[in-house]
Amino acid sequence: MLFPTVLALQPPLTTFGNQLIDAQGVPVHLHCIAWSGAHEKSYLTYGIENQPLPDLVSKIANAGFNCVRFQFSAELVRLNPIIDPKLLGPNPQLVNKTGLEIYDAIVQELSSKQIMTILDYHQMDAVVCCSPLDENGAWFNDRYSFDQVRDLMQAMVSRHKSNPWVIGIDLRNEIRPMIDFATIFGLSVPNPLTAFLPVWGLGGKWDWARAAEQLGNAALDINPDLLIIVQGFYQIQLKEVWTWFRHNNGDSCRKPRIPQVIKKSFIDRYPVTLNVKNRLVYSCHTYEFFHDFDYFNLTYEDWKKEADLYWGDVAKMNIPFFLGEFGVDHNPTAVHSDFFQYVVRYIEETKINWAYWSFEGTYSPAPGGFCSAVNPLGYPEDRTKENGYGFLSLDYNNTASQDLLYELKRIMFK
């Protein structure tokens, strides 16, 4: 007689101290991968124009990921257009379906292979992220009021309510300071009157912690079983400004890097409190380019001290933590760089939950940086460029990097 060596995962998940547990009380470690695209202007997840959906999902399952952090925008939910059939070649079963119907079909396919989905409310407008001028750094803008943002989120949660494999919602991606520019005497200058600087628990319309609480409770009103993922935000760090200042070399396009943080001091001051117990997960993202250039010329111990300060101390609190994005170029040099090795080692030591950015072999590059960010809502989408951070190769047939796969396998804890 054969006995299963591990119990099959049984969603939904709840929090238990700093762990996640399934419906049978078995601890679950999230090792996810982002699968993006539905949040952009074609309203379609990348890869659907390249390979049959079941093949793509098999690649996720075979690599060992147990969940997908799955991007969408408010605009997708609001407009929900029929997707251009030219993008559906390998998936004729999806022709004439709307953006949300295709999103649903992908979630269904993932669920059929017992891969969990985290709905990721990435942004409001369907744009290529993240221009400093794109008005998608907050959780509301001129086009989407807070009430609309909440209602569209509830609509999305409703669609997936009956599927226990949809385990959570990431309330908003990478809240960041926004600066609008005013034209004065023909010059474009920062307009302090329309600036947006997120704060934690201090009240007022810039208070992300309280907005997250309201959004989280609104999601739980529809589906009380969801995990509610609350990210920190980008915050200027004086130490990094100083590093930038010393090494700037007069390059006016090189602004100081701004890391995303969720500090223990935030939570001590204002812990997010939801109406349903054991649903809250805190989250933050990290990339090498969130920090100033030689900042990572550091030993692991030094790096860890900074990571702890920015988000790692929260991971040591009695609440689960989700490193919701980290990634690296898939060339072997980058995979073996200090930065990436340090992140992997940190996850090995702390066993935090994580999601790698990202699965798709192609993406639409944004003309990045302040100096080229002139037409925020009008970037042309070009879905054919190689995604340097892609887990899959450009043609979607193979894993882009065996080295990367090897590193990620090290941190897929049972």
Ligand X SMILES: *[C@@H]1O[C@H](CO)[C@@H](O)[C@H](O)[C@H]1NC(C)=O
Give ∠ CA 118-107-69 in degrees, rounded to 5: 25
Which CB atom, from 25 or from 81, has the smaller least distance to ligand X? 81
User: Whole-angstrom Cα distance, residue 39 to residue 37?
Assistant: 5
Which CB atom, from 147 or from 294, has the smaller least distance to ligand X? 294
Q: What does the binding site for ligand X look like in residue numbers (CB under 6 A)?
A: 51, 95-96, 294, 297, 395, 397
For 50-110, give the DSSP string.
TS-HHHHHHHHHHHT--EEEEEEEHHHHHH-PBPPGGG-TT-GGGTT-BHHHHHHHHHHHH
Residue with tokens 């117990």: 277
Least separation in angstroms between CB 402 and ligand X: 17
Least separation in angstroms between CB 98 and ligand X: 12
Which CB atom, from 95 or from 195, has the smaller least distance to ligand X? 95
Per-residue b or e along 363-399, where b marks 16 or more CB atoms closer than 10 Å to that residue's CB: bbebeeeeeebeebeebebebeeebebbbbbbebeeb
Which CB atom, from 23 or from 95, has the smaller least distance to ligand X? 95
Which CB atom, from 302 or from 395, has the smaller least distance to ligand X? 395
Least separation in angstroms between CB 244 and ligand X: 12
Least separation in angstroms between CB 9 and ligand X: 29
Compute the residue count for the chain: 414
Total Cβ atoms within 10 A of residue 282: 24
Torsion of CA 404, 319, 233, 392, to 10 degrees: 20
Least separation in angstroms between CB 96 and ligand X: 4
The answer to whether 326 and 89 have CB atoms below 8 angstroms apart is no
- Cis peptide bond upstream of 253, omega within 30: no
Least separation in angstroms between CB 397 and ligand X: 4
Which CB atom, from 382 or from 395, has the smaller least distance to ligand X? 395
